Amino acid sequence: MSAASRVRVLSFGVSLDGFGAGPDQSLEHPLGVNGFDNMQWFTHTRVWREMNGHPGGETGTDNEIANRGFERIGAWILGRNMFGPVRGPWPDESWKGWWGEEPPYHVPTFVLTHHARPTLRMKGGTDFHFVTDGIHAALARAKEAAGDRDIRIGGGVSTVRQYLAARLIDDLHLAVSPVLLGKGEALFQGLDLRALGYECTERVHGERATHVFLRRRD
């Protein structure tokens, strides 16, 4: 991996009270109950609408920053919950993610799980590889796949927390929305980001979210 390659969390929606997802994820609530409130800033952008086959969309600051989040990405890492609501051993191979036949990743994507499953090849260049031996193994495989491009940690909250605790994330972009979830998955609970070497390097006010950029000091 080139020295220019970085491990990044981008466009990660967080509520004012620090929740990255709501409680009780299900097929009806992919981000937990009320969790989609965190992503309303994204759903109004042109980037989001084009990803979902719709015309129009806002083209301001939120859209520009969201679009940046897909540049130079050579591999993704997702937690099991980010891939879908199925728990425990895979009952079959019918669940292929939330995104239909052509997911938005278009590069090798590594899914953390305790239960093995064959690689799932989707349209548009997205191959889902299921990794059963932990976050370090997933990152090693993602680095190999990405080459000199960046690795994006897509979530969910538990996955981001694990990589933060291990000081493996170089850049963390939070899109803080003016909403209160009240309960759910707290992104920073039990983490001392200052002690882990992270600092805020930039903040940008978008149309519907405040974008806060953190970086790990080397």
CATH of the domain at 53: 3.40.430.10
For residue 2, is pLDDT > 50?
A: no
Report yes or no on 95 lying in a domain: no
H or E segment and range at residue 157: helix 157-165
Cβ atoms 145, 74 nearer than 8 A:
yes
The whole-number average pLDDT for the span 27-51 is: 94
The reply to whether 212 falls in a domain is yes
**pLDDT band at residue 53 using 50, 70 and 90 as cut-offs:** confident
Mean pLDDT of the chain: 95
Three-state secondary structure call for residue 18: coil
Does some domain include residue 184?
yes
CA-CA distance, 203 to 206, in Å (whole number)? Answer: 10
Q: Within a domain: residue 202? A: yes
**pLDDT of res. 133:** 97
Mean pLDDT of 103-109: 96
Buried b (16+ CB within 10 A) or exposed e, 138-159: bbebbbebbeebbbbbbbbbbb
Structure confidence at residue 218 (pLDDT): 82
Q: In the prediction, which pLDDT does 3 show?
A: 52
Residue 96 covered by a domain: no
The pLDDT assigned to 187 comes to: 98
pLDDT at 14 over 60: yes
> Considering its fold, how many domains does the chain have in total?
1
Q: How confident is the model at residue 122 (pLDDT cuts 50, 70, 90)?
A: very high
Query: Would 57 be classed as within a structural domain?
Result: yes
Question: Which structural domain range is residue 191 located in?
Answer: 7-87+102-216
**Looking at the whole model, is its pTM more than 0.85?**
yes
At 1 the pLDDT is 42
